[in-house]
């Protein structure tokens, strides 16, 4: 998956990347402000952060790389968290934001205090901050495109959304609806919020199924495919094509169905390790490197043919992932410049 994500998808040859020496960042302190940790993707994101940043601290590249998560998905709480980080004297804050706009005031305060702010996944719109994101709209649209290739005649779709009010949820949903406009043989007949969590998605799908006609596909956002499958099976319905979200339990269920009946689908999500790219981008900015304000990385897709290999490399209870090195980050930056 790593080669696909970085060299093929970005068209970069990492072996030739030179990482220039710059100002010393060994005394710089970086903090992660995370708004939510209630699903496997967020847990994998935090694990990736620790996996990459702990050696960076141990090696003296930075002085600290502390991670903080708010108790609730609350923009006011996250804004207060960022204000505390300002008072604590961090040199850079990496943010997975509860809202693209609601914490802009706190972000601006950080920038005004001379602090580098890098947002990722849940990005912010404050102009002083940097942003790292995938094309979430395209991630939604390609799901419908895939279903159109599988079922040219179309049919009814169930949409499972993520956390209400979060930028990522809005963008992926917008892409799904754009896909339905592009392929009008499909109709979205129901929509529920699964909060990117299998148990929440299972309850939500179970609740709406009795009111739905036959569905041929389920379009998702990640962390919801397995829960949807369990609800549909429990209802005794024919299993539609459920687009998965790279979680290990989804991939395992998919493989079991593939082995039993030839079940076919696809899986797509942003790699949780994007947090490590944000860390290195922040370090490079502190190091004096010129970095564009907006960086785009490709989403991570799993196909029918790559399923077994990707499942084998995904830890139980985890998410298919890519973690970034300093060299990778420089390649992404140079590829955007």
In a domain, 203, yes or no: yes
In a domain, 311, yes or no: no
Cβ(269)–Cβ(41) below 8 Å: yes
Cβ(46)–Cβ(275) below 8 Å: yes
CB atoms within 10 A of CB 193: 19
- Full residue range of the structural domain in which residue 155 is found: 136-269
Q: pTM for the complete prediction? A: 0.82
In a domain, 222, yes or no: yes
Res 334 pLDDT > 50: yes
Closest Cα to residue 297, out of 327, 326, 336, 267?
336
In terms of pLDDT, which residue wins out, 71 or 229?
229
Number of domains in the chain: 2
Vertex 8 angle, CA 4 and 12, to 5°: 120
Q: What CA–CA distance (Å, rounded) separates 29 from 39? A: 27
pLDDT per residue as tens digits for the range 133-180: 889 999 999 999 999 999 999 999 999 999 888 888 999 999 999 999
Closest Cα to residue 81, out of 63, 92, 68?
68
Question: How far, in Å, are 57, 105, 242 from residue 108 at the CA level?
Answer: 27, 5, 41
Last residue of a domain, one of 250, 269, 288: 269
- Is 197 in the same domain as 294? no
What does the mean pLDDT of the chain come to? 92
In a domain, 306, yes or no: no
- Is 212 in the same domain as 157? yes
Last residue of a domain, one of 230, 247, 269: 269
pLDDT of residue 6: 36
Once rounded to an integer, what is the mean pLDDT over residues 116-136? 95
Strand 267-269 with 300-302, pairing: antiparallel
**Looking at residue 77, which CATH number applies to its domain?**
3.40.50.2300
pLDDT per residue as tens digits for the range 214-234: 999 999 999 899 999 999 999
Q: What CA–CA distance (Å, rounded) separates 293 from 336? A: 10
- Is 66 in the same domain as 176? no
pLDDT of residue 33: 98
pLDDT of residue 134: 86
- Is 176 in the same domain as 257? yes
Q: What CA–CA distance (Å, rounded) separates 52 from 63? A: 14
Cβ(224)–Cβ(196) below 8 Å: yes
């Amino acid at each position: 998956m790593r080669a696909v994500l970085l060299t093929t998808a970005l068209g970069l040859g990492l072996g030739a990347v030179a990482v220039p020496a710059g100002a010393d960042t060994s005394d710089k302190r970086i903090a992660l402000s995370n708004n939510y940790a209630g699903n496997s993707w967020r847990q994998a994101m935090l694990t990736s952060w620790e996996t990459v940043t702990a050696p960076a601290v141990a090696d003296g590249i930075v002085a600290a790389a502390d991670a903080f998560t708010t108790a609730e998905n609350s923009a006011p709480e996250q804004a207060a968290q960022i204000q505390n980080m300002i008072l604590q004297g961090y040199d850079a804050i990496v943010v997975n934001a509860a809202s693209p706009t609601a914490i802009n005031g706190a972000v601006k305060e950080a920038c005004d205090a001379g602090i580098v702010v890098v947002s990722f996944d849940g990005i912010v719109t404050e102009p002083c901050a940097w942003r790292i994101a995938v094309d979430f709209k395209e991630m939604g649209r390609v799901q419908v495109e895939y279903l159109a290739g599988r079922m040219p005649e179309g049919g009814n779709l169930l949409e499972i959304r993520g956390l209400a009010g979060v930028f990522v949820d809005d963008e992926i949903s917008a892409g799904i609806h754009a896909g339905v406009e592009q392929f009008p043989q499909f109709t979205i007949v129901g929509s529920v919020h699964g909060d990117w969590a299998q148990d929440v998605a299972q309850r939500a799908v179970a609740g709406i199924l009795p009111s739905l006609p036959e569905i041929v596909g389920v379009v998702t956002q990640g962390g919801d495919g397995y829960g949807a499958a369990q609800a549909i099976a429990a209802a005794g319905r024919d299993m539609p094509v459920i687009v998965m979200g790279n979680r290990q339990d989804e991939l395992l269920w998919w493989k079991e169905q593939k082995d039993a009946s030839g079940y076919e689908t696809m899986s797509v999500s942003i790699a949780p390790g994007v947090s490590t790219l944000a860390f290195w981008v922040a370090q490079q900015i502190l190091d004096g490197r010129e970095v564009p304000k907006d960086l785009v990385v490709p989403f991570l897709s799993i196909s029918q043919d790559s399923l077994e290999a990707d499942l084998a490399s995904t830890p139980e209870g985890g998410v298919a992932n890519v973690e970034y090195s300093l060299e990778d980050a420089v390649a992404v930056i140079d590829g955007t410049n």
